[in-house]
A and B are shown apart, each in its own frame.
Chain A
Amino acid sequence: MQNLWQSALHHIDVSEGTNVLEGVREIYRECRLEQDNNRLTLIVPNGFVSRLVSGRHQESILKACRTLLARENLEFSIRVSEEKKKPRKTREESRKDALPIKENSSEKLAGAEWNNHLISRYQFENYVVGESNRFAHAAAYQVSENPGKSYNPFYIYGGVGLGKTHLVNAVGNAILKKFPGKKLLYLTTESFLNEMVNAIKFNKMSEFRERYRSIDVLIVDDIQFLSNKERTQEEFFHTFNTLFESGKQIILTSDCPPNEIVTLEERLRSRFSSGLIADIQIPDFETKVAILSEKMRQEGINLSEDVIFFLATSIKSNIRELEGAMIRLGAYQTLMGKPVTIDVTRRLLSNLIQNASMPLHTELIMNEVAAFYKVTPKEIRSKKRNRSIAIARHVAVYLMRDLTQMSFPEIGREMGGRDHSTAIYAFRTVDENRDTDAILSRDIEILRRKLLQSL
């Protein structure tokens, strides 16, 4: 119904002019429409907005909804939302709350209202599991069953938009259902940093430390942003230790494994690595289809199967883009009142689909591999047989085969005019050694991820 509300506002702009809603668009954003047969109810946040709507725009809104839904006998009413905002504090109350609570502070905090900042819509129930995230999901579920006991710390990494935030929030929400008394906090590294800066500024470090070291479950998103922040790393180190030594659960997410976070202190790196590390990869086709289906169910959007398949095939990068595309198509369908076809999809999402279907260029693979092994592309193509160059050459061949549609003869030519059998040999060498050579396996993983994210 949020789509219909936005559509109604858009309709008023188009049919009556944009000046009608001038100045109120921001206020009206908090409203939502509910439909019950022929009755539409506009839920508004407070009495002032109710009076504004009824005094100025009620007729325009009703007219727009009747047109969009093609129902002339639609009735309309306004209702103030019953969700109460927290009462605003007076200055005196705010000043009182600023006083440090020293004695029995953890008990007092437990009894006082605690905001865990979890995103409630992210649950295990609506998390789609596929090969790309099966291990991470299973481990996450274990953590939710036995926080602080199973895997601690629990470190999840993966590219942007692959579901890390959903998964860790699902863990948090599941823990609170099972253990309602636990004090849990979800936040990003940036929030941690900002709070710390404010605590230093207002001389409230003891309260800051009290807050973070008295919780039962700490979930920190995007821990890679600790990179280059010495003071934050120092503080986080002490927080981590205090919680860990008390058997409290720590869950971290990042876009890379701990050993790839640049300028991370070794003591933090070793601690992050001391529990379980799980990665989430780009979902395969089937998983993408399943994700789209689930999201459509949640949003009340109905796209045809061929459009879903088309989206899953065309958008290769991350789930966030996939969902964004789906929302755009859903809004188009509601606004225009017409079903979305593949042609429409191609037209509406031309920029997304174009980017996604661009193949990986061999030059890009060559440059990344060369930089990684600290050699030059020229050396890789040359006849030199130094160990580092040879390894780089083999890895380049392997990745070209893995990430592009090139044949071995084409790869051989790309590698400085070599025979296709040389390319096959290089590929097989890497393929066979990957399972036994941890360093090789890690290197390939890093390069693969980097190359796919550059798409």
Chain B
Amino acid sequence: MDFTIEQHVFLEGLEKVSILSDRKNIALLASHILIEAKEGEITLISFDQSAGGRLRLPATVAVPGQATVLGKKLYQIVRELPSGRVHLSKDPSDRKGMTTLEKDNAIFHLKGIDPRDFSSFPEIAPEYSFSVPLKDLLRLLQRTLPFVEDEEKDYMNGALFQREREAGGRATLNIVGTDGSGLHHGHLVLGEEGGIDLTEQGQKRFLVKRRHIADLVRILETDAKDDKLTVDISVNPRYVLFQWLGFYFFVRLLDLRYPNYRDVFPEDHSVTIDMSREAFSSMLKRASLISDRNFEIEMLWDDRTVTVKSQNVDIGDSQEQSPAIVNGPASSFFFSLESLSKLLGVIGGVTVRMQAIISEDPQEHNKVPVIWSSLEEPQSRYVIMPLGAEA
């Protein structure tokens, strides 16, 4: 194999593909990138049993062939090279030998594994597909990720993607993540990009493992500056495929049960509280100096203010007020500081809204989910469960 390629083109491609090989303590295969050189282009491939990425890049290929290199390391090396053409070559008779990378006066010899150990990259035949603007998809995934369970259990694991198509053709995409005490539900109207499929109206859903969502977010972020990009999503019973700008990222789906997230959201609310997100976030930050992440804070409100109280038997207590616009009766909840911090780490906009049902029965008071949202980000809503009355 022998080819030359522009350093910045190579770097942009490696930036995506190396994310998939950026793992510790995993199989050797998954930490390497396969480079295939054919006429006029090279293909970078990284995959393991559950996910993989492929990208074709323009190159001047003198001799076609294959090589494998540690993905993350190759990215780090190319990142340090000056701009200009980079030359890679590998002796075809040396299957487990070195790949040589040269640029000006720098020469690297990089070990690899046998390219034949890479099984062929799956081509996924979709059952249905749709498109989503990249920036919208990224935004929703970024807000979902902190709420996605990461454990190996068979319920509520992973991030749920649900595509609904109504009669008349309108399609929406819902993305949901929950860890049992908090939940994010994001939705997008797909419009013309709602896609074409062979089924009629109804819903389609699939589950993706947390670490693959995290990889997808990192890869999407590399193209986040381009407002006009669209991601094509294709799905069959075993895989989902995300494609944009020639990058092809597939993920094996989780075959697990997932709760009906809509059941979590009450139909109505008896209290709505609007407050400045910045002020609320600052109050919590200060409260957390007293009450560390393992403890709760108390949030009380009357018709004009919200008060946050925290206490710690070893340190002391604190109390702080902020103005709020309240419609509904005065009351209070206890929340886990960790859950609220997670919420405020992702929620954007200027005004945070809390909606809840205030039950007269103290036994029921903390059992109904509390809904959070940002007035400036209507595509997302969150559930943070209050802590029990005995907290």
Residues of A within 8 A of B (CB): 23-24, 27, 46-49, 51-52, 55-56, 87-88, 90-93, 96, 102-104
Which of B170-178, B236-244, B344-352 is the contact stretch? B344-352
B304, A90: Cβ atoms under 8 Å?
Answer: no
A23, B351: Cβ atoms under 8 Å?
Answer: no
B351, A46: Cβ atoms under 8 Å?
Answer: yes
**Whole-angstrom distance between the Cβ of B146 and the nearest chain A Cβ:** 7
B145, A48: Cβ atoms under 8 Å?
Answer: no
B323, A27: Cβ atoms under 8 Å?
Answer: yes
Q: Is B142 an interface residue (CB 8 A)?
A: yes
Residues of the B chain whose Cβ atoms lie less than 8 Å from the Cβ of A48: 274-276, 325, 350-351
A46, B325: Cβ atoms under 8 Å?
Answer: no
Which of A52, A87, A104 contacts B348 (CB under 8 A)?
A87
Closest to B350 in A: A46
With A23-B305, A27-B276, A48-B275 given, is the CB distance from A92 to B142 under 8 Å? yes
Which of B83, B322, B348, B376 contacts A23 (CB under 8 A)?
B322
A24, B323: Cβ atoms under 8 Å?
Answer: yes
Give the distance in Å from the alpha carbon of A110 to the alpha carbon of B252 in the complex: 41
Give the distance in Å from the alpha carbon of A55 to the alpha carbon of B327 in the complex: 12
A27, B279: Cβ atoms under 8 Å?
Answer: yes
Binding site secondary structure of chain A:
helix
With A47-B375, A48-B275 given, is the CB distance from A55 to B325 under 8 Å? yes
B145, A92: Cβ atoms under 8 Å?
Answer: yes
A90, B142: Cβ atoms under 8 Å?
Answer: yes
Residues of the A chain whose Cβ atoms lie less than 8 Å from the Cβ of B322: 23
Residues of the A chain whose Cβ atoms lie less than 8 Å from the Cβ of B276: 27, 46, 48-49
Tally B residues with Cβ within 8 Å of A.
31
Give the distance in Å from the alpha carbon of A103 to the alpha carbon of B217 in the complex: 23
Per-residue interface assignment for chain B, residues 206 to 231, with 1 indicating a CB less than 8 Å from any chain A CB and 0 otherwise: 00000000000110010010000000
**Whole-angstrom distance between the Cβ of A366 and the nearest chain B Cβ:** 53
With A48-B275, A103-B79, A104-B83 given, is the CB distance from A96 to B221 under 8 Å? yes
Residues of the B chain whose Cβ atoms lie less than 8 Å from the Cβ of A91: 142, 146, 345-346
A92, B348: Cβ atoms under 8 Å?
Answer: no
Give the distance in Å from the alpha carbon of A23 to the alpha carbon of B79 in the complex: 52
Residues of the B chain whose Cβ atoms lie less than 8 Å from the Cβ of A49: 276
B325, A52: Cβ atoms under 8 Å?
Answer: yes
Give the distance in Å from the alpha carbon of A55 to the alpha carbon of B324 in the complex: 11
Give the distance in Å from the alpha carbon of A226 to the alpha carbon of B322 in the complex: 41
8 interchain pairs, CB-CB under 8 A: A23-B323, A47-B375, A47-B376, A48-B275, A90-B348, A92-B217, A93-B142, A93-B221
Q: Is B321 an interface residue (CB 8 A)?
A: yes
With A47-B350, A52-B323 given, is the CB distance from A102 to B79 under 8 Å? yes
Closest to A56 in B: B304
**Whole-angstrom distance between the Cβ of B341 and the nearest chain A Cβ:** 11
Which parts of B332-367 form the interface with A (CB within 8 Å)? 345-346, 348, 350-351
Q: A46-B350, A47-B351, A103-B83 given. 14 additional CB < 8 A pairs?
A: A23-B304, A23-B322, A23-B323, A27-B323, A48-B350, A51-B325, A87-B348, A90-B142, A90-B143, A91-B142, A91-B345, A92-B145, A93-B221, A103-B11
Residues of the A chain whose Cβ atoms lie less than 8 Å from the Cβ of B263: none
Residues of the A chain whose Cβ atoms lie less than 8 Å from the Cβ of B79: 102-103
**Whole-angstrom distance between the Cβ of B264 and the nearest chain A Cβ:** 23
Residues of the A chain whose Cβ atoms lie less than 8 Å from the Cβ of B80: 102-103
Per-residue interface assignment for chain B, residues 144 to 168, with 1 indicating a CB less than 8 Å from any chain A CB and 0 otherwise: 0110000000000000000000000
Residues of the A chain whose Cβ atoms lie less than 8 Å from the Cβ of B221: 92-93, 96
Give the distance in Å from the alpha carbon of A452 to the alpha carbon of B304 in the complex: 53
Which parts of B3-57 form the interface with A (CB within 8 Å)? 11
- Of A49, A87, A92, A102, the most chain B CB neighbours within 10 A belong to A92
B321, A23: Cβ atoms under 8 Å?
Answer: yes
**Whole-angstrom distance between the Cβ of B196 and the nearest chain A Cβ:** 32
**Whole-angstrom distance between the Cβ of A227 and the nearest chain B Cβ:** 34
Give the distance in Å from the alpha carbon of A213 to the alpha carbon of B279 in the complex: 37
Give the distance in Å from the alpha carbon of A199 to the alpha carbon of B83 in the complex: 28
**Whole-angstrom distance between the Cβ of B300 and the nearest chain A Cβ:** 14
**Whole-angstrom distance between the Cβ of A133 and the nearest chain B Cβ:** 41
Q: Is B81 an interface residue (CB 8 A)?
A: yes
Residues of the B chain whose Cβ atoms lie less than 8 Å from the Cβ of A87: 348
Closest to A104 in B: B83
